[in-house]
Structure 1
């Protein structure tokens, strides 16, 4: 795997490095660089490739959802940089292309003129490693396109994605380096010893890079020789005294051991200790705050994401309706919204909050069931150019909310919301 990565990076730098210039929709270009990315890594890699490869001087750089198999007839060469999401699925901004590619038959769309490469991002610790990249490679080949190089797989669990991006740190594309953050506060938000959830405050310093709601902090645990970062959604906005807030659930494995990163952050790290981390821009979860309705949905540690979006909206004096659906286990131990959301934002006149608890003895409910009961809020958001943001575990909550939206709106409308950047998912 490392050999494959090295060959690819070597090829990238075979020609001289050019100026940082993102080529988009250049007239008469016959070269395409297409990306599909859930957290921004594949997008950053595609942009770096476009910026530093002279062969792509007049290339067209696009997200995958903006093109169709039929439109590939316009190009002679294509590079696809794509991640795999969930259970072998495409990222949200690759779903429409994925569906269209599956429907396309060779007698309808002949691509024998097209030469292509696929760089697939994934994590071999999970099933369906790089499945989406494999699928694109297979389908393009079936439509007559010719691979100019074997499929390249970059394994997150071996640091290959990070290494590929780091290769450009000395080039014209600036890649964030790990910086020192200081742990200044940590507290358990819920009560009781089971499933503890912590708020962690890291001081970023006055010179820290600015971030916005939806962005991620890649943390490098110092209790292991592995240099593999763990990613956490940032729960704060830059204006909050240069403090990056994280909300972290202590993971307990079947053998009783603690999760490597969550155990270090919530149990082992001491106040004033240093944390090596870097900001990770996540454009797919940047909301356009145009004073339109917002629907924020989260469960558990996904509270981090909706807190940041909520605070950013309040900071920008957002007066349109904000609908919040938040789920946890029990009301007695896990009713934590008021612990992390300032009272002014929580009680604002334009905010409607629904808390649900899956282990409540009287009325157990999951957040996707609360969504099913929130037809008026969803209608307001969809009909008035609003946005939907979902944060939390992919299994259970993330899948459940997505399927509920499809049942309520129809698959075509959900895809339209995704493609128009109005439906954002930060699920892990």
Structure 2
């Protein structure tokens, strides 16, 4: 009995330590930093790629540390002589998800605290800010502008003016080889007069590259190197032995199809080769397969959702997954319905709820299901569950964020964000 008791106590202790380690506060453990730090905030991987280039230009890992802002707290800035911040702007001028906690803590510092208190001596910090943004949005590089100002307010010394870059013109994409993929199948997933939603399948004669659920592909319309690349969520995993995309055909006010979506869903012929570039998106990687996973999306957001379900299907003893998915109307050919049903029967998908925004009897959106199921959402996510949201930022993405914050309560919502359990692939 004594041996059994000791064994149980040790097992409990190791389990407790593992939970504490997984959910420790970011930056709580002392991190040995080089005199120069490159810190990045990235929603889709562009800032991370550019930050890695900055690190190499500064002498590599031997001379410069690199950290996402999600793993940095302001007091750690007292350990370095210079910090180079490479940050994207997300949504309506916001920080990316992996920079929100750091920026909130930075805003809460006062100049006196920063200069004299335990939070760090920002008056001895030299810094630069490289801001990435999309010049088609009115608040171009707004987070970079705000971060630059906050650091100056706290006494840090800028060694260069704020650098702004249009995300489409950065060197990050050009540093990766474009690979040729052949379009082998195109299937419309919806019916009726609404813009088509298409499942596209591609294969390649080259060695199949490695990618993760949550990653993206960049595509230049009509293989035109001068065109601005569009990014799409990857809907498959390497185990599928093909690359899949789910693309909504965009239509402008004149009824003309979008330059890239129209090409992919209509103009490109079967068998045509299309150049693509896989883009890592670590913010949307989910490695804790045993943790509960709430998937929320609408329309072409099914792409990222399908990728995560396919990845979980490859794991033994994966945790429960719950999908809340939205479309405009019910059609005879529901998006990938047969595959979703198969995953339900296999236990990969525990629960599936659909919201039809144009249903004549019960119109609703995915955020309505989250709000109506607030108690269940809270229990399901608990203290260790992950949430992945894929689809449009305006409308669905913002509304889901509000519903989640209400369902969880602000404290649990902030904890989920700080622990990297909230993944948003929104466009």
Coarse TM-score class (shorter-chain normalised) = 0.7 to 0.9
CA distance in 2, matches of 1:91, 1:230: 19
CA distance in 2, matches of 1:327, 1:65: 30
The 5 Å alignment of 1:338-377 reads 338=337, 341=339, 343-349=341-347, 351-377=350-376
For the Cα contact (< 8 Å) 1:101–1:139, is it kept in 2? yes
CA distance in 1, matches of 2:317, 2:33: 42
Relative distance call for 1:359 and 1:119 in structure 2 (3 A) is: same
- Unaligned stretches of 5+ in structure 2? 1-28, 116-121
For the Cα contact (< 8 Å) 2:70–2:420, is it kept in 1? no
CA distance in 1, matches of 2:216, 2:415: 25
CA distance in 2, matches of 1:388, 1:71: 29
CA distance in 2, matches of 1:92, 1:267: 35
CA distance in 1, matches of 2:426, 2:97: 11
**SS at 2:290's partner residue?**
coil
**In the alignment, what sits opposite 1:160?**
169
**SS at 2:381's partner residue?**
helix
The 5 Å alignment of 1:71-110 reads 71-110=76-115
**In the alignment, what sits opposite 1:313?**
312
CA distance in 2, matches of 1:413, 1:125: 35
**In the alignment, what sits opposite 2:40?**
35
Given the alignment, which residue of 147, 160, 176 partners 2:158? 147
Q: Does 1:60 align with 2:69?
A: no
Q: Does 1:202 align with 2:165?
A: no
Q: Does 1:219 align with 2:219?
A: yes
Q: Does 1:136 align with 2:135?
A: no
The 5 Å alignment of 1:197-276 reads 197-205=197-205, 207-222=207-222, 226-241=226-241, 243-276=242-275
**SS at 2:111's partner residue?**
coil
Measured after TM superposition, the shift of residue 108 of structure 1 is 1.7
Query: In the TM superposition, what whole-angstrom CA distance separates every residue of 1:87-106 from its partner, at most 9, and x where no partner exists?
Result: 11000000011212222221
Measured after TM superposition, the shift of residue 334 of structure 1 is 7.1
For the Cα contact (< 8 Å) 1:285–1:424, is it kept in 2? yes
Given the alignment, which residue of 57, 60, 70 partners 2:75? 70
**SS at 1:325's partner residue?**
strand
CA distance in 1, matches of 2:192, 2:146: 45
**SS at 1:417's partner residue?**
helix
Higher alpha-carbon deviation: 137-146 or 302-311: 137-146
Question: TM-score, with normalisation over the residues of structure 2?
Answer: 0.86
CA distance in 2, matches of 1:233, 1:270: 21
Query: In the TM superposition, what whole-angstrom CA distance separates every residue of 1:43-66 from its partner, at most 9, and x where no partner exists?
Result: 121122213422873332111122
- Unaligned stretches of 5+ in structure 1? 1-23, 167-174
For the Cα contact (< 8 Å) 2:289–2:318, is it kept in 1? no
For the Cα contact (< 8 Å) 2:128–2:161, is it kept in 1? yes
For the Cα contact (< 8 Å) 1:293–1:380, is it kept in 2? no
CA distance in 1, matches of 2:295, 2:172: 34
For the Cα contact (< 8 Å) 2:46–2:172, is it kept in 1? no
Question: TM-score, with normalisation over the residues of structure 1?
Answer: 0.86
Measured after TM superposition, the shift of residue 253 of structure 1 is 1.0
**In the alignment, what sits opposite 2:290?**
291
Relative distance call for 1:182 and 1:427 in structure 2 (3 A) is: same
Which protein has the bigger helix share?
2
Relative distance call for 1:68 and 1:275 in structure 2 (3 A) is: same
CA distance in 2, matches of 1:395, 1:403: 12
**In the alignment, what sits opposite 1:336?**
335
Given the alignment, which residue of 51, 75, 80 partners 1:46? 51
Query: What RMSD, in angstroms, separates the aligned Cα atoms of the two structures?
Result: 2.1
Higher alpha-carbon deviation: 32-41 or 311-320: 311-320
Query: In the TM superposition, what whole-angstrom CA distance separates every residue of 1:259-287 from its partner, at most 9, and x where no partner exists?
Result: 11101111110000110111111111111
